[in-house]
Amino acid sequence: MTYKSHQTHLGPAEAAAAEQEDVRKLVNVVEDAFERIAKITRLPVSEVLHIIEEVDVAQLRNATQEAIKNIANATALDTAQITAIFKANRAANIDDIVNRLHEESRICRARI
């Protein structure tokens, strides 16, 4: 994004107007970014802001990858299968997920 306020040939009034325009553009970019995250996570934007404040995204990604790897090793399921089980019922508790993973693992092993 090019910032008009960074242009050096503007007079004081033009510079102030350009600064305001830059801020409006930035607001749109930030709102869009948080709305995309909210849509993906199905969380309200305010909750997304809270999570971003509290969670290191890189650490979360690493922990998630490690968790899926451990589940894959324990079940012989691949990442896509595990992810599908997680996404199938967002209201599921741990027992529901474990039962579903176990059942899917049993089905896959029976095919071999």
Other Cβ atoms less than 10 A from the Cβ of 22: the count is 16
pLDDT of residue 81: 95
Structural domain harbouring 106: 57-111
Other Cβ atoms less than 10 A from the Cβ of 4: the count is 15
- Whether residue 63 is found in the same domain as residue 106: yes
- Whether residue 69 is found in the same domain as residue 50: no
- Whether residue 29 is found in the same domain as residue 43: yes
DSSP 4: G
The pLDDT profile of the chain, 112 residues, written as one tens digit per residue, is 555 545 567 788 888 888 899 899 999 998 999 999 899 888 899 898 888 888 888 888 899 999 999 999 999 999 999 999 999 987 889 999 999 999 999 998 888 6
- Whether residue 22 is found in the same domain as residue 62: no
pLDDT of residue 85: 94
- Whether residue 61 is found in the same domain as residue 105: yes
* Structural domain total, the chain: 2
Query: Of the candidates 17, 37, 54, which is a domain's last residue?
Result: 54
CA dihedral 80, 85, 87, 90 (to 10 degrees): -160
pLDDT of residue 83: 93
Query: Of the candidates 32, 54, 76, which is a domain's last residue?
Result: 54
- Whether residue 29 is found in the same domain as residue 71: no
pLDDT of residue 8: 60
CA dist 108 and 76 (Å) reads 8
DSSP 5: G
